[in-house]
Every structure is written in structure tokens, then in C-alpha cells.
Amino acid sequence: MLARRILPCLDVKAGRVVKGVNFVNLIDAGDPVELAQVYNDAGADELVFLDITATHEDRDIIIDVVYRTAEQVFIPLTVGGGIGSEQMIKDLLRAGADKVSINSAAVRDPDFINRASSRFGNQCIVVAIDARRRTVPEKSDRANPGWDVYVRGGRENTGLDAISWAQEVEQRGAGELLVTSMDADGTQAGYDLSLTRTIAEAVEIPVIASGGAGNCDHIYQALTTGQAEAALLASLLHCGQLTVNQIKQHLAGRQVPVRFE
């Protein structure tokens, strides 16, 4: 089994790291460059930088913040938010990003995934899937009706089925999937293991579990029962409830392979 990865996530709005619950009620969590350096030194495997309002505000991602962040870290950096062109991907990679995460633009123009993967390599292309569980109608005998894909920072339901969309983006050249449960996001009640596992079983590329981490056991479950190859987390780390080392020690103690400095 390959080493499992712990990925701190920096959700950035107006140049500051923020954190909310179910994609709303955002609060300030600090400076992205300073936090990136802290997590780099703490032994994180990778960092994910998401400009969470770029698409909704119809603007480009904050390149200067990406550049300053990349200067301070020596682990892989994934950047997402408002990425809608090959030129933007090129600019981000030049600014120091190792991968880019695309979401709304991929739904709007699925061929964008093909073009980006062909030009930059699928190892650079992460497709983010923000998914929300469909409501089960009353008197329905369906325990799990599935999940819809949302875009524009969780504001717009595309009507796409999350599992089918995951399979399509893999075929189009995505090298990795960042799967966020909108229902669990920020709740610290645990990842949506059913969502993560169902997608992981449907594709061959790595799946990053996102949304809902509340303790070390939640992360362990995402990487075992949920079959994710990496766990993304924010609140637990930003608020100092856990450290990267504590998480890795817990995982190693339960025979999950992880990398230590």
C-alpha cells in the first residue's frame, strides 16, 4: 500500500484563509503564506490552496498570493479557484504551483480537462467535485439516492451525478479527484465515507477525501473504509485541535503507511 497523504487546505477569500460550515458562515483563520510555512515545517505531505470566491466573483485567482506561498513551501502545492483557461494554468505553474484544481470550468467545458491534461500532463490536473447528497423522498425505499455535483463555490446544482462525473473526468485525463462532501464540510462530524468509497471504487485514479474531519479516527476511516488515498482537512489544523504529526502517529499506530520527516 502506498503511503497515505495528509493535506492541509487553505481556503482563501480576499487574501485571507477562512473556514466555514457547509460552505457558509466564513470566519478568518489567518494569513495563507504564514499558515503554509507552518504546515510545510510540520510535515504535511502536500498543501491545497483554494481561492473559494474567484469563480463566484468572476475574477482570476490571486496569483501573487500563490507566488508568495510557493516561495515558502517545499512540498507539492495544488491551487484551485476560478481556473478557466490553459493560460491561467500556465501562469499558476510558473508561479510555483505543482498541480491545479478545476471544478466549475470543467463542468462548463468538459473538453477543457482533455486539453489541459494533454498540454500539461495529467499529473498536474486535479478535478474537484463538490457533492451534496440528494434528498430521499418520503416513503421511498432507496437508502441512498446518490449525490449531485455543485459548482460556483457550492452555489449552483449542475444536476450531474457525482459518480458518473468522476468516471467521465478520469476518462478525459484528470490525474486525481478532490471529493468534498458539502453535507459534511466544516461539521467535524466525519467524512461522508459512502461518497468517498463509492467514487474510489468507480475510478482508478487517486481520490482525496474532503469535508468533515473531526478527529484522528475520522481520518483513519476515510483512508481505510472510505478508500481515499489522501485526506484533506482544515478546521482541525487551523484551530490547533490536532497537528500533522499527531495524525500521522495515530495512523501509523493503526498500520496505515504514512511518511514522516
Query: CA dihedral in degrees (6, 169, 103, 211; nearest 10)?
Result: -40
d(CA 259, CA 143): 38
Q: Tell me: the pLDDT tens digits for 167-181?
A: 999 999 999 999 999
- Give the catalytic positions in this structure: 11, 130
pLDDT, position 106: 97
Q: List, for the chain, all residue ranges whose pLDDT scores fall below the cut of 50.
A: 23, 59
pTM of the model: 0.90
The neighbour count for residue 137, using CB atoms within 10 Å, is 8
Q: What is the pLDDT of residue 54?
A: 58
pLDDT value of residue 111: 98
Look at residue 3 in the predicted model and tell me its pLDDT.
96
Question: Element (H or E) spanning 116, and its range?
Answer: helix 111-120
